Structure 1
C-alpha cells in the first residue's frame, strides 16, 4: 500500500533515519530502542511474565524483601525531604514496594517518574493511586536528561532509580557516557539505584532471550513488522528468524535477526531496497551482564562510587547503590 506524502511527513523522522542508516551499514543493525511501539510494549509485558525471564522477578525480590536495607544504604532520614526520581518506571511494580515502606515509615519525599511515554506515566500513576491512595506523585514526560537538568537546581537531595538492567542494553563505553551525563545532572551526595543483571551460566541466561513460547522471537521480529507498518516496507517475517546468543565468559547476550534466504526488501518511503544474503544478520540488542569489576569499569571518571549492593536470594541480579562523590 502506498503512503501519501502528508502521512510520511508525520512519521517518526528519527526512526526512518536510523532504519536507513542501520540497514545500509555492514553489519546491519537496528536500535533496540525501537522495540517499544504499541505491539512491542505489549509483547515485552508478556515476556516479563515468562518463567524463563528471571530478571523482573529477581529485582522485584530485592525491592519486596529488602526495602529497609535499600533505605539504610541510601542514608536517608525521616527528618529530611528528598526527591525520588525514576528513569523509565515501567509498570512501577518494583518501585511501589519501596514506596509502601517509605509511606509506612513516614519518610518525607516526592516521587517523580520520568518517561517519554504518556501511557507509561498514566499506568504508574494509576498503580500508585490504587495501592497508595493518599500518595500524590509528580510524573514528568520527556527526555531523561532534559527533565533532570530542569530538576538540578532543586535544593533537595535526590535518589535516581534506573532499574531493570536497562544499563545493560548499552555497550560499556556508552554506559560510561550515560553515567557521566547522569552524574553531571546530580549534586554531591545524591544517590543512584542501578539495577544490573549479573554474570551467570548460559543455561540460565539464554532461555530468557529464547523462551519456549516464542514470545521473545515475536518481540524481536516485530522490529521488521514495525518497518512494514510505518515505512511501507515489504519484509516477509517468515523469511527471517530470531537468533539469540550468550558469551558466558564475556557476560554479553546478543539478539539478531537472520535472513533465511537471499532476498531484496523494498522500503518504499525511504526509496531504499535492502539486500540480504542467506544467513546475513541484523544486530538488534545487547544485554550486558555485570559483576563488581565491570561495574567499576563503567563508573570510571563519572564521579560516582559504589557504596552498597543488594542481591536477590538466588544472586541472579544486583541493585548497586552509587553516590556522587564529586
Structure 2
C-alpha cells in the first residue's frame, strides 16, 4: 500500500485584496470580484521569492510539523510552471538547500492545475517500482510573475503558493488508490505563456514579435476563459465517471470531493452538473486564490484541519486545466 502520510503548505506574506483590485480597476466592485471568483485575497510572491524558495519553506514546514527528517527523503518530485531557471532543475536546488542526501533522486515536471494528481501517481509508481521507499512531492508556483499588471481577468483569480506532501510505502496515512488521466493538446493556446521558450525567446518581446490574443505582452499569461470553462464542463464529468469506475465505486460512495480550486463560478457549475451535495463539495480558495498545482493539497490540508476528513472516508481529488490536462484519483483515509 502506498500512502499519503502528511501535507504542509506555504503562502507568501504579500496579499492582493479585492479592495486593491478595485482601486486598480474601478469598474470591478469588491462584491463583483468576490461573487464571481470566490476569492477575497490572493497571496503574491515577493520580487525575490521564487519557486525554489517557496518549495524550501513548504518542505521545511512539513519536516517540522510532521517530525520528518531530510535524511529520510529518497526522491523529490517538484511540479512547477514557473521554475527558477531553464536549467538546472529546481528540484536539485531544493535538494541541496534542504540537506536531503545526495543519494536521493530529484526532478521537475511541468504541469499546472492537474499537477498534484499526476504527482501522486508518479510518486506511487516510483515506490511501486521498488527503487525508493518514499517521495517528497512538492508543488510550487509563482503565476503572479507571469501575469501582466493590466490583465484584470487573471489577476482576480491567481495566487502564489507551495505545498509539500510525504508519500511512502506502508505508512500510517491515506491509501492512494487508482488514478486516471486525460490530455488534449488542441487547447494548448487557450492558457499559455508564449514568450520565454525556444520557439519565442523572451528577449524578442521588446521587438514586438510575440503576439498575444489579449493585446498584452506575449511574455505574460494569456487565458481564454470561455474556452477553459467549456473544456472543464465537457471533460470533468466524464473524468469523474471514469475514476469511479476504475475504483469500482458509485458517486454516492464518495464522502468528499476536492476539485482543483479554479474559481467559484466554475466550481458551482461543476457541482450542479455532477449533482454533488454541497456538504460533500469542499471549497477553499477565499484567502489564497487559485494557486494552480497547490490548490488540491492546500484544500486537503484545510479539510483535515476543519474535521471535514475523518478516518474511513473516501475522497475524490480532481485536477484540470492548462494543457489541456486533467487527472483524478481516490484517496482512502
The question of a shared fold, defined as TM-score above 0.5 by the shorter chain, is answered with no
Q: Which has the higher contact order (CA 8 A, sep 6+)?
A: 2
CA radius of gyration, larger in: 1
When normalised by structure 1's length, the TM-score is 0.30
